[in-house]
Chain A
Amino acid sequence: MRVGAAMNILVCVKRVPQTGGRIVLTADGQAIDTKFLGHTISPHEECGVEEAVRIVEKEGGSSAVLTLGPAEAEEQLRDAMAIGIDRAILLETGGTEWDPVSTAGVIAETIEAQEAANGEFDLILFGNEAADTGDYQVGVRVATALGRPIINGIKEIWFSDSRREVLARREAPGGGWETYDLPLPAILGVKEGLNLPRYPSVPGRLRAKKKDVERVALGTSPSGALGLGAGEDAAGVDSAIPGPTKRRLRLPAEERTAAEVIGHGPEAAPAVVDLLQRIGVLAK
């Protein structure tokens, strides 16, 4: 039971590469070659981070960010702290990719341990899906393990007057909005469009640099890494079957041929309008 309006919020994020104009794979086809790529917090959860900062600015309380990833994911945690997240937790893998079941299992156990030490999170935010793997399930698995309600696809969040419920809305199929009302503690899967994230300021980055990141070293592979703490969960997540198991990645076949250049500069306008008429989109 919370006292006052202060909100304790956790955002779970994933580090993803910034792929640019084309994807290049490593020679063994196991991963995207990120040698020349920067990384970022995956877009949906970037908005989750911004939202957590805004909620704490408005309501008081504290915020934390958590990620399961390689040591380099510390970069994304510091980016989150640079815009105002109070503290960060890195569940450090050896660099291998984890399947969504194992990922959710460790995150749920971590949350249970964190809450035992620091008190409950009123609200936990996940991204609706990660931009790279697109598994659409980690948040739901964690919510199930913790026995808390969750709704995905969220593009707006507000609280009831009593601050005991979170209200959230998402786009309905075919248009319009659906509103949900969840008693706290609750979990939301958010989508980009929730807000417009701010850019970190230089002082923000300097403050973030000075903060400690809490590190938990996981095993080199998912099996054997579970067992951070006892944690009884309602759904037997510790015994959940991991998967899907990646064999390799590959690029889809090219579907289109290169563009036909029909002109240069404004002089091309007649050729463009000829084209529009030819393909029948211009009602004359």
Chain B
Amino acid sequence: MVIAFVEHAGGEPDRLSLEALALARGIAGELGVPLDAIVLGSDAESVARLGRYGVGLAHVATDARLDDYAPAAWAAAIRGVISVRAPAAVVAAGSERGNEVLAHVAARLGLPMSANTIEVTPGESWQLVRQRWAGSLLEDATLDASVRLLTVAPHAVEADPAVQAGPAPTVTRFAPELEPADLVARVVSREAKTSAGVSLSDAKIVVGGGRGVGSAEGFARLEELAGLLGGAVGGSRVVTSLGWRPHSDQIGQTGLRIAPDLYIACGISGAIQHIVGCKAAKRILAINTDPESPIMAVADYAVIGDLSTIVPAISAEIELRRA
């Protein structure tokens, strides 16, 4: 069978896990084998819902030591199920935790792992497609091992819609075998998010600035426009590396991936690692002096010219129409 490791939050399988589950279900279907799930430290409700996504058997570990994140311990629980079920594949979300936990599984079992997979063709030799450069490049690869371990790239596979009357899966509870070493790396304390204003990851409108903004002070114009639009301000890696904006404002492969309704990219040339961060925006408006800059290939709309005059002009026009 194929096993999906499902992360959950508040009684629901989380979105990336549902996407991973869809890929796992596809593989199970091609192989003509059942689909299992592993759920750690959960309530019965979220497990029962898994039946709507094709899960026939759910392995649930309710050991309190697994309630909070401890990657080696979570991996030990997964390894326990693997040793009992001998699956053809184990599939997890390509979330921070999914990649880390499955890497621990792979390391302990001496098996290869494909991170951020988007397509799998099982067969005598399994062919897969995975992301490099966070999706800016694709790799065709083979993955051959007694158990294929793979994580699924976020937002690359569509989650299956829930079948309304899907039967609840059979639930088997298990006690994971944990060694003290498995619990050394675990959360010892938490701090809640302190948000002031609109958060960059949630904002519906984002105004981003690149080298063209010219200085930290130059961002004042972007702040003004974002304020009028009820949005947030972000920056490219160039401006965070220069110290003009804090790293937490970075939109890009090594920063945030955002998906606003509108992204206004000001003075941003469009390096591929920045595009990775903003391509999920519904619409992109680029403001740039260079009509040939790479950002133009991904932007929907463009204004050609200097942002230092264009951005204030847009702000002024908005205020004018509101007056």
Q: Do A and B come from one complex?
A: yes
Residue of A149, A170, A247 near B184 (CB, 8 A) is A149
- Which residues on A sit within 8 Å (CB–CB) of B313? 266-269
A98 CB to closest chain B CB (Å) equals: 12
Cα distance, A145 to B134, chains bound together (Å): 27
Q: Is the CB of A263 within 8 A of B303?
A: yes
- Which residues on A sit within 8 Å (CB–CB) of B104? 140, 144
Q: From known contacts A175-B199, A176-B193, infer whether A131 and B133 are also in contact, taking CB-CB under 8 Å.
A: yes
Cβ-based interface call for A116 (8 A): no
Q: Is the CB of B269 within 8 A of A21?
A: yes
- Which residues on B sit within 8 Å (CB–CB) of A22? 272, 294
Residues of A within 8 A of B (CB-CB), count: 94
Q: Is the CB of A260 within 8 A of B103?
A: no
- Which residues on B sit within 8 Å (CB–CB) of A269? 310, 313-314, 316-317
Q: How many A-B residue pairs have CB under 8 A?
A: 283
Q: Is the CB of B310 within 8 A of A266?
A: yes
Q: Is the CB of A240 within 8 A of B110?
A: yes
Binds A, one of B82-90, B211-219, B246-254: B246-254
Q: Is the CB of A260 within 8 A of B301?
A: yes
Interface of B (DSSP majority class): mixed
Q: Is the CB of B291 within 8 A of A261?
A: yes
Cβ-based interface call for B113 (8 A): yes
Q: Is the CB of B254 within 8 A of A44?
A: yes
B289 CB to closest chain A CB (Å) equals: 10
Binds A, one of B19-27, B44-52, B54-62, B138-146: B138-146
Chain B residues in the interface with A (C-beta under 8 A): 9, 69, 71-72, 95-97, 99-100, 103-104, 106-108, 110-116, 127-128, 130-145, 151, 181, 184-193, 195, 199, 204-205, 229-230, 237, 241, 243, 247-248, 250, 253-255, 261-262, 269-273, 279, 283-286, 291, 293-306, 309-310, 312-314, 316-318, 321-322
- Ranked nearest first, the 8 interchain pairs of A and B with the lowest CB-CB distance are A243-B112, A21-B294, A175-B193, A266-B313, A193-B247, A144-B107, A240-B110, A269-B313
